[in-house]
Amino acid sequence: MRQELHDYRRACEALIAASLSPNTIAFTPKEIEWISHYATEMTSHVDGLMLRSWPAQDHERDTLREYVRVSNALLQLKDLSDDERISIRRSVNDIGKKILYAVPLGAPPKWKQVLADL
């Protein structure tokens, strides 16, 4: 597996783990926008569609900064294999389920909020 793909999967896992941490502060709407942008770009990349670029921006969260960095590196790869495409789709699906479609957006899962209230 290419290093960029390994780094991307690891960055997605770190972003998800950070969002599930008991001390998590919910993602801001702008952070959700960035996470969503790169998830969409990854899907476009594996489907061979046109990519949209966004201006560079500094991010306060280390996990988000790393996610953006490795996403940009992965977007530069050409000739992805079927296994690489599947791996990217799985990572994007995890980001979607655990961050982008959490209720409220970018918030820790409901069960975690209940535990924090105890």
Contacts of 106 (CB under 8 A, 6+ apart): 19, 26, 27, 28, 31, 32, 35, 99, 100
Average of per-residue pLDDT across 88-108 = 79
- The percent helix, strand, coil of the chain (3-state, each to 5) is 65, 0, 35
At residue 53, what is the residue type?
A: S
How far apart CA 77 and CA 99 sit, in angstroms, is: 25
The per-residue pLDDT for 7 is 94
Confidence of residue 113 (pLDDT cuts 50, 70, 90): very low
In single-letter form, the type of residue at position 93 comes to N
CA–CA separation, 73 and 76 (whole Å): 5
Q: How far apart are CA 19 and CA 16, in angstroms?
A: 5
More confident residue, 107 or 69: 69
End-to-end CA distance of the chain: 43
pLDDT digits (tens, 9 = 90+) for 4-51: 999 999 999 999 988 888 777 788 888 888 999 999 999 999 988 777
Say yes or no to pLDDT of 105 above 70: no
User: How is the chain split into domains, by residue range?
Assistant: 3-49+61-117
The per-residue pLDDT for 86 is: 93
pLDDT-derived band at 108 (thresholds 50, 70, 90) equals low
Percentage of the chain with pLDDT > 90? Answer: 36
Q: Residue 12, Cβ neighbours under 10 Å: how many?
A: 28
Indicate the average pLDDT of the chain: 82
